[in-house]
Amino acid sequence: MSTTGPTEQSQSANAQSGDYLLRCVGLHKWYGSVHALRNVDFNVRAGEVVGLVGDNGAGKSTLIKVLSGVHKQDKGDIFLEGRKVVIDRPRAAMQLGIETIYQYTAMIPEMSILRNIFIGRELRKAGPRGFGWLDRKRMASEAVASIAEVGLDLESPHRPVKELSGGQRQGVAIARAMHFQSKILILDEPTNHLSVKETNKVLDHVRTLSEQGVTCIFISHNLHHIHPISDRIVAMARGEKIADIHPDDTNIDDLNKMIS
């Protein structure tokens, strides 16, 4: 496998740009003796859809976990809008405007769509966070609006999430992320476990988001999903970034060879 070409391209891409929305410099992460991230530089421009590809264990999940506050990097810095930021827990990421959509959808099955949209960020009529009186009316109306905005048809926001299909759940997750007006939307393998029809729906959602100018990082090991919707593709292998390319400069076969 040759990595020379893509690496050169990645360096030239880095050199051109100063106006990144998100900039990660020299990230390292160890899990015990496993070096999961090795000196990774990862940048995203505003309004861009970046496809992040790699085989299982390539480090893409670890990178996402660092960005969404699930794990903290052991070394390296993260800059958001030019400002150095510390993301030490999921809430810190959310407060910075980084929303993550997980492949398992991060929903509470027994709870309603409406409650799921506001988990951990419930709207309050009165009182500080943790001692707040719920504002159910406002949550219901805002939930309905958010669901409509992503073009979902779900009968009622009071339906429990367990009654929804996988694709509908991802739709709610996207509505949730959009409701909180994220600066960066991370989609971590959102098409896993979905049928072809549902996958297409989720990809449509991402296209709509990118048309609206939302910055997205789309993670998948399915190159057929990534290639058509990405403005740029970053490939990882064994904890390192091995390519940073425009989709027009590559094709699915080359990408496949690169990451496997």
Partner 1 sequence: MRSVLKNLMTRPEVSALAMLVLMVVVFSLISDRFLTLNNFMIVLQPMPEIALLAIGVTVLMIAGEFDLSVGSVFALSPMVMVLLLAQDVPVSLAIAAGLLAALLVGLANAGMTLKIGLPSFIATLGALFMVRSLAIVISGGFPPAFPRDMDTSWLVGRIDLLRASIFYLLGIAVIIAVWLRKTDFGSWIFATGGNTQAARDMGINTTMVKTTCFCICSVLAGFAGIILAFRIKAIVPSMGTGFELQAIAAAVIGGAALAGGIGSVAGAIIGALLIAFIENIIILARIDANWFKFAVGAMIVISVALNTWIRRTAERMRLGDDQ
Instruction: Return the HEC string of 145-195.
Output: HHHHHCCCCCCCCCCEHHHCCHHHHHHHHHHHHHHCCCCEEEEECCCCCCC
Q: Among the candidate windows 20-28, 43-51, 85-93, 202-210, which touches partner 1 by CB under 8 A?
A: 85-93
- 107 touching partner 1, by CB under 8 A: yes
- 177 touching partner 1, by CB under 8 A: no
- 97 touching partner 1, by CB under 8 A: no
Alpha carbons 216 and 209: distance in angstroms, whole number: 8
Q: Tell which one of 8, 88, 163, 249 touches partner 1 (CB under 8 A).
A: 163
DSSP letters spanning 115-142? HHHTTTS--EEES-TTSPEE-HHHHHHH
Alpha carbons 105 and 19: distance in angstroms, whole number: 31
Q: Tell which one of 131, 196, 197, 211 touches partner 1 (CB under 8 A).
A: 131
Q: Among the candidate windows 8-16, 49-57, 87-95, 192-200, which touches partner 1 by CB under 8 A?
A: 87-95
Alpha carbons 63 and 52: distance in angstroms, whole number: 10
- 32 touching partner 1, by CB under 8 A: no
Contact residues: partner 1, CB under 8 A: 68, 70, 89-91, 94, 100, 102, 104-111, 115, 118-122, 124, 127, 129-134, 155-156, 158-160, 162-163
